[in-house]
Structure 1
Amino acid sequence: MFFTYLRRELRRRRKASLVVASGLALGIALVIVVNSVSSGMGKAQDKVLQSLYGLGTDMTVTKAQAPTSSGSQGPRFRFDARSDDDDSKQSSDRVMVQGFTTLASSTVAEVADQKGVSSAVGGLSLNVFKVSGQFTRGQFQQNGGGGVFQRGGGTGQPEGEVKGGGADFGINQYTVFGTDVTKTALGPLSSSKITSGRTFRTTETNAKVAVADSAYAKQKKYKVGSTVTVKGTKFTVIGIATADSGDSAANLYIPLKQAQTLADQKNKVTTIYVKATDSQQIDSVKSAIQKNVSGTTVTTSADLAKTVSGSLSTASSLATKVGKWLSIAVLIAAFLVAGLLTSSAVSRRVREFGTLKALGWKSGRVTRQVVGEAIVNGLVGGALGIALGLAGAYAVTAVSPTLQAQLGGGSGGLGGAAFAGPGRQAAKTLEVALTAPVSVTTIALAVGLAVAGGLIAGAFGGWRASRLRPADALRRVE
């Protein structure tokens, strides 16, 4: 009887039911789109951070920055004097630690022993400056008059001037990352995919081998088997890596021991990459490391995400703040409209409910009938809302607007950003395409909102129906 009457009443009041369902559908669709876009923002931000942190890395540990005197640090280049008359070509490499601060390799074990740490691995970020060019000897040209000049009564010298000559030098700057080849699952290299050749073997801890970033390899025309010379040491390219985020953390990756030798930093690392046993305990792990490992700075992915600026940051802020409150406002409005429309519909069915009560229906049964109708309207609205939300999320993904993210200006040691002076990192601009993935959680939320909307509308109508008295109802005419 309940379902028969429910089906008949919904069919008889199709327009009113559709209005209630449509209002709920719009609110639910907006919630789905906003949640999906927010999720897409999070994924885009994670993609930006992958090139710095590496996949699976929860935090990085670096040496606490100490004040440095300006002008006291920086690359210096010296060239040997030549006594011959030939023009001389000269070249000089300078390998410098990124950020000028290092930690002892033993610190990696200290960090790994902290409670909540699943694994830790050290890496050494280097900047290489290669200056090469040629000195050209100038030519002395005597004046046409052939005169001589006297200086202090000494021997006369031909009068003339030196023309031409000088120096022409170019600077090639690139980054090198020393990676622990026994633990390649953590660190910047883990965010790149080997597209040619192979990655490091665990036995190549001190081998003269290198993995080149694909963009840098294309620029320098490197391929598997090519030879790269860094500060007089020749490395064989064994693989080409393509960064998932489109921007690599380093131009070249070499074994950690080789990097330490090139920089004269034996048993030193610049960054320790850490993975926590539980992603929910990252803050407590961070506190434990800072407390127990002195002289270090711990940066989580959430900390680094705060340094992201540009259109990605602006869009993320709008999605999380404006979008959230707009969704709440629309939902409240939709629920109120659904409740008021249901209550209004009950007031127009006074004679019907009065007759039912006169026939023996109790107030509870009438209330359940009204609530049942409202829940069905809510579920229909939920289905429509999910369909509209999926369509909106698909449209956002299909259009794929490109957002820019800027990282930089912070302290050193966050991975592989370009060198920008003592203890600083250069601004790094990345472009990412926005997507709007719809998760199962979002769909479940939409269903929950649909049921909640139906219950709220039913509560309004049921309360109104329960207050009807048969005698009063039968005296009214629709």
Structure 2
Amino acid sequence: MFFTYLRRELRRRRKAAFVVASGLGLGIALVIVVNSVTAGMSQAQGKVLESLYGLGTDMTVTKAASPPGEGETVRRPRFRFDAEEGGDGEQSQDVVMVQGFETLAAATVAKVGGQDGVAEAVGGLNARVMKVDGQFKRGEVQPGQPAQPGQPGQGDGGNQVRGGGADFGVESYTVYGTDVAHQGLGPLTSSEITAGRTFTAAETSAKVAVVDSAYAKEQGLAVGEKLTISGTAYRVIGIATADSGDAAANVYLPLAEAQTLADAKGKVTTVYVRATDSQRIEDVKGAVQKNVPGTTVTTSADLADTVSGSLSTASDLASGVGKWLSIVVLGAAFVVAGLLTSSAVSRRVREFGTLKALGWKSGRVTRQVAGEALVHGLIGGALGIGVGLAGAWAITAFGPTLTAELGGGVGPGGGGGAGPVRDAASRAVDIALTAPVSLTTVALAVALAVAGGLVAGGFGGWRASRLRPADALRRVA
């Protein structure tokens, strides 16, 4: 009897049912879109951080470079060329310098890895290569013209040197020394090997290199060719393409080789850390700061706070304005649904009064009204999910490309230095906006639909339960 009456009433009042369901549906659709866009913002921000840190990295441990004291001078690259007797000659020299941070002893990696809550710790060395090459050119000696009487300035009879000089070009690129025995962390993990291969665990001191695809294209390098750094030839074994944005380094070498080139044996600049549990990241950060003094710990959340650009603006809108807007619209939809259901009960005074006169109890009338409102809510939920999925698809398919970059002067630990993380941070990263819809979001939509139906049904049922049979009899003509 309940379902028979329910079906008849819904069919008879299709227009009213559609209005109530549409109101709830629009509110639910907005919630789905906002939640999906917020999730897309989080994913986009994660891609930015992955391109700087490396996949799976929860934090980095560094030692910020201290400012020079009074009377101290900042070390700058110095190039020395020997003059060659007898003519022109090409000159070339590389200077490899640790960049960005003060170095840490390699033993720091093991000390960090021994802290409670640390699943893995891997050291790496950030360096920059400054390459100057060119040639000196001797000038040509031309005999001077004798001076003519009455024509001063036409010559003094001496020889003159014309032409000559020096023509040098300067090239700068970054090198990252990776621990080939532990390649699960670090900047190289944010790139995909698109040609050749990556390092093997046995290539600890091998003269091999993996080159970023953009740098390889710029220099005309291919797998199997040689790359010379500071007089040492390295065979290119792989080409790596960054998953998003710019690569963390132009050239990747085994850690021992990078340490040798930069005159930093037994040293690292960055320790990449993965926690055993994402919920313990802050605890691990505190433990490292306490037990490994003199270091700066930067978590991915710390870097996330410095992300700026259109990605940050869109994220703020989605998580702030969008969230409150969806709450307001959803609340308004609930109120409207309740008022429309209550209004419909008022128009059905004769019907409910007659049913009570025929023996229906107040509880039965309340359940009937609540059942109708619940069906309205489920219909609205279906409409909302459909519209929300369509909106999320449209954003993913036609959404804009967002730009993200880290705030100026911020590297891991706020050191403000250079290094793969800092270099990548100083350049904008373009991220396509997506709006992924999770099962949790769909479940939330269903819960909201049921809640909306119960709110409307509860209010309308309360009104219906207060009706008396006498009210219906007074309205009978």
Change (3 A) 1:112 1:207: same
- The residue correspondences of 1:114-133 to structure 2 (distance < 5 A) are 114-133=115-134
Identity over aligned pairs, percent:
68
Aligned-partner Cα distance in 1 for 2:454–2:373? 7
Letter in 2 for 1:13: R
Aligned-partner Cα distance in 2 for 1:79–1:137? 18
SS of structure 2 residue aligned to 1:202 = coil
Aligned-partner Cα distance in 1 for 2:309–2:237? 37
Letter in 1 for 2:14: R
Q: TM (normalized to structure 2)?
A: 0.93
* Cα drift, residue 299 of structure 1: 1.0
Aligned-partner Cα distance in 2 for 1:456–1:46? 38
SS of structure 2 residue aligned to 1:295 = coil
Change (3 A) 1:331 1:89: same
1:332 partnered with 2:331: yes
SS of structure 2 residue aligned to 1:248 = coil
CA contact (8 A) 1:404 1:432 kept: yes
1:397 partnered with 2:402: no
Aligned-partner Cα distance in 2 for 1:420–1:142? 54
1:66 partnered with 2:83: no
CA contact (8 A) 1:409 1:425 kept: no
- Cα RMSD between the aligned structures? 2.3
- The residue correspondences of 1:161-310 to structure 2 (distance < 5 A) are 161-310=160-309
SS of structure 1 residue aligned to 2:307 = coil
CA contact (8 A) 1:146 1:159 kept: no
* Cα drift, residue 418 of structure 1: 9.6
SS of structure 1 residue aligned to 2:374 = helix
Give structure 1 stretches of 5+ with no counterpart.
Answer: 148-156
Aligned-partner Cα distance in 2 for 1:252–1:414? 23
* Cα drift, residue 214 of structure 1: 1.1
Aligned-partner Cα distance in 1 for 2:419–2:246? 17
Aligned-partner Cα distance in 2 for 1:458–1:88? 92
Aligned-partner Cα distance in 1 for 2:423–2:402? 25
CA contact (8 A) 2:125 2:176 kept: yes
SS of structure 1 residue aligned to 2:256 = helix
Per-residue CA deviation, residues 286-320 of structure 1 (Å, 9 max, x unaligned), is 11111211111111111111121111111111111
1:469 partnered with 2:473: no
CA contact (8 A) 1:123 1:271 kept: yes
SS of structure 2 residue aligned to 1:428 = coil
Letter in 2 for 1:7: R
Change (3 A) 1:187 1:202: same
Change (3 A) 1:456 1:368: same
Aligned-partner Cα distance in 2 for 1:183–1:420? 20
Q: TM (normalized to structure 1)?
A: 0.93
SS of structure 2 residue aligned to 1:167 = strand
CA contact (8 A) 1:125 1:175 kept: yes
CA contact (8 A) 2:246 2:424 kept: no
* Cα drift, residue 137 of structure 1: 2.1
SS of structure 1 residue aligned to 2:233 = strand
Letter in 2 for 1:135: F
Letter in 2 for 1:233: T
1:93 is matched with 94
2:456 is matched with 457
* Cα drift, residue 359 of structure 1: 1.7
Aligned-partner Cα distance in 1 for 2:411–2:68? 13
* Cα drift, residue 419 of structure 1: 4.2
CA contact (8 A) 2:248 2:424 kept: no
CA contact (8 A) 2:101 2:418 kept: no
1:109 is matched with 110
Aligned-partner Cα distance in 2 for 1:286–1:366? 60
Per-residue CA deviation, residues 340-364 of structure 1 (Å, 9 max, x unaligned), is 0001001111111111112221111
* Cα drift, residue 229 of structure 1: 0.8
1:432 is matched with 431
* Cα drift, residue 161 of structure 1: 4.1
SS of structure 2 residue aligned to 1:172 = strand
Q: Which runs of 4+ in 1 moved over 4 A?
A: 417-421, 423-426
SS of structure 1 residue aligned to 2:167 = strand
- The residue correspondences of 1:131-170 to structure 2 (distance < 5 A) are 131-145=132-146, 159=158, 161-170=160-169
2:152 is matched with none
2:151 is matched with none
